[in-house]
């Protein structure tokens, strides 16, 4: 069952002009986070990371996912079976590229993170795969 955000949901807490985002993000970060781009598979920093910690939005620092929900989907991007908590991400219908998908965005700054896929048969508690671009995330490792 797909979850879509409430169209009456509050506006993002972090709002910046396009010029501000361009000055704060690298060209690759800007292209993915603000223009809904996608990094190439198997090239991102976290696609196969097993480091324990919290994954935050690279644009605003909001905590989004943890390593506890990360799993190896072998798709080339970091995969999570659930976000850190309800309300940390929001969902939008995405019919770009001739496909019907669910886009995942940061609820705090409305940055593009990736997409949500369901029913793929992964052995996870939710049977969901949050396929997230590494460039959209910053990992805050758990202190050993």
Helix (H, G, I), strand (E, B), or coil: what is residue 106?
strand
Distance CA(56)–CA(62), nearest Å, equals 5
Burial class (CB in 10 A: 0-12, 13-18, 19+), 131: buried
**Which entry of 57, 60, 106, 131 is annotated as an active-site residue?**
131
In the beta sheet, which residues pair with residue 89? 106
Distance CA(71)–CA(113), nearest Å, equals 17
Helices and strands per DSSP (H, E), number in the chain: 2, 9
Distance CA(46)–CA(70), nearest Å, equals 10
106 is catalytic: no
Residues noted as catalytic: 131
């Amino acid at each position: 069952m797909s979850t879509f955000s409430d169209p009456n949901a509050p506006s993002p807490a972090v709002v910046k002009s396009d010029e501000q985002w361009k000055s704060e993000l690298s060209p690759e970060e800007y292209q993915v986070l603000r223009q809904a781009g996608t990094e190439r598979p198997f090239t991102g920093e976290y696609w196969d990371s097993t480091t324990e910690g919290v994954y935050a939005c690279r644009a605003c620092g909001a905590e989004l996912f943890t390593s506890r929900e990360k799993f190896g989907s072998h798709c080339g991007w970091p995969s999570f079976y659930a976000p850190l908590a309800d309300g940390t991400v929001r969902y939008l219908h995405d019919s770009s590229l001739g496909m019907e998908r669910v886009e995942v965005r940061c609820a705090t700054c409305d940055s593009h993170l990736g997409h949500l896929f369901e029913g793929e048969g992964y052995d996870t508690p939710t049977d969901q795969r949050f396929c997230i671009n590494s460039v959209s995330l910053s990992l805050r490792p758990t202190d050993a």
